[in-house]
Amino acid sequence: MEKIPFIVGNWKMNKTGKEAVLFIENLKDQITNCKASVGIAIPFTFIKEAFKASENTKIIIGAQNMHFADKGAFTGEVSARMLEDIGAEFVILGHSERRALFSETDDLINKKLLKALEEDISPILCIGESEEEREKGKMEEVLKRQLEEGLKNVSEEDAKDIVIAYEPVWAIGTGKSATSEIAENAHVFIRKCLKEIFSFNISDKMYVLYGGSVKEENVEELLSKKNIDGALIGGASLNIESFSKIIKKF
Ligand code: PGA
């Protein structure tokens, strides 16, 4: 890790607006002296409340998904402009749960990513292989495809606003984190792909986070690796004690 660490909580479908505000008010007091940048990906319905609670703090607020169109007949969907309007500064795209449970394809994720960039919302593009793919030796093939397709038609200028999150599917919510060596290995490969897609200069500047059972006990070891610039944290970001302990390490 050579950059200022970026620690992002992914709350998934948890909490209420009231709980979010209390959480953020509590968290902000605890992390004032930390060096890390901190983000929380909030459910749509209380992004605005979370944004208000985070004003004048170092916490930035983001969303977990969006639609790629500007507006129109897409019942139940939320556009990038709507997110921007309520204070979201980033959006998680292509999380493995969305790929698996909501059939999101690389092509769809790419459309969302291009729209997010257009609306000045930084995308966090999630990529990662399943256990089966890893066992069959397909990790590199999967990561390369997800990066190439997901980042199609992105300019070098825009690339610096994109964060990549490497989240091996077998490590998400399982308590079975990748070892720091396994994670760093994947991050080196990701960096190489980014260099091919953009340039060395851009690939070096881009943030690549690790996600998958990150907790207080393993976060320092993971982030000590040269190519791991931060963490995307699910379970351990829901609890104020565990999330603040992670942030306070940096
Ligand atoms: P986890 O989730 O930290 O609970 O494994 C990570 C994620 O899904 O982003």
Q: How far apart, in whole angstroms, are the C-alpha atoms of residue 133 and residue 40?
A: 29
How many angstroms separate the alpha carbon of residue 230 from the centre of ligand 1? 13
pLDDT profile of the chain (250 residues), mean per 10 = 91 98 96 95 98 96 98 98 98 98 98 98 98 96 98 96 97 90 97 95 95 96 97 98 97
- Could you identify the atom of ligand 1 that is nearest to the CA of residue 232? 9
- Could you identify the atom of ligand 1 that is nearest to the CA of residue 237? 3
Q: Measured from the CB, is residue 92 less than 6 Å from ligand 1?
A: no
Q: Measured from the CB, is residue 214 less than 6 Å from ligand 1?
A: yes
Q: How far apart, in whole angstroms, are the C-alpha atoms of residue 72 and residue 101?
A: 24
- Output the six-digit token pair for 169: 């599917």
Count Cα atoms within 13 angstroms, Cβ side, for 99: 21
List, by residue number, the catalytic residues: 95, 167
pTM score, whole prediction: 0.97
